[in-house]
């Protein structure tokens, strides 16, 4: 009797997973339809690019890392692996990334901040967050 229950459970999980994927697909289709509507609107004027610094605050864990050590070598490595803003969106928001790490060949492939180096230094200094 246990085998059919297992089969039912697996089938139920499959149905649930399929339903979730379909919901994601429907939501994505709605987003795309809205984007195409906007793009096909002859009166559409794109928002101007953001000018000035990003409104997304620099990760405060970075300040905690710098405050946790006076060691010049560690501070130099932290400065190299500090957060840099990438593309600033029209609304002024951005993601923070590490440009001290090797990009995977393209500018947009820099890792998000904190990178592995910042996390490792945080672990060694006992600083939580990064």
Task: Please tell me whether residue 61 binds Zn ion under the rule CB under 5 A.
Answer: no
E strands of 30-117, at which residues?
83-85, 96-98
d(CA 62, CA 41): 43
Residue 54 or 110 having the CB closest to Zn ion:
110
Of 81, 80, 65, whose CA–CA distance to 129 is shortest?
65
For the window 101-130, what string marks contact with Zn ion as x by the rule CB under 5 A?
x-------------x-x-------------
Residue 120 CB, nearest distance to Zn ion (Å)? 10
CA 41 to each of CA 27, 37, 77: distance values in angstroms, whole numbers, following the listed order: 21, 6, 49
For the window 76-105, what string marks contact with Zn ion as x by the rule CB under 5 A?
-----x----------------x-xx----
Residue 108 CB, nearest distance to Zn ion (Å)? 15
Rounded to 5°, the CA angle 128-129-130 comes to 110
Q: Which chain residues interact with Zn ion by CB under 5 A?
A: 81, 98, 100-101, 115, 117
């Amino acid at each position: 009797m246990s085998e059919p229950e297992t089969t039912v459970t697996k089938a139920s999980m499959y149905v649930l997973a399929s339903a979730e994927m379909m919901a994601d697909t429907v939501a994505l289709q709605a987003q795309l339809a809205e984007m195409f509507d906007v793009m096909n609107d002859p009166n559409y004027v794109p928002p101007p690019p953001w000018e000035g610094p990003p409104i997304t605050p620099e990760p405060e864990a970075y300040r905690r890392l710098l405050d946790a050590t006076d060691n010049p070598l560690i501070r130099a490595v932290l400065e190299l692996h500090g957060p840099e803003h990438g593309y600033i969106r029209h609304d002024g928001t951005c993601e923070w990334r590490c440009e001290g790490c090797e990009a995977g060949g393209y500018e947009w492939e820099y890792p998000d901040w904190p990178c592995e180096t910042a996390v490792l230094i945080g672990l060694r200094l006992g600083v939580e967050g990064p």
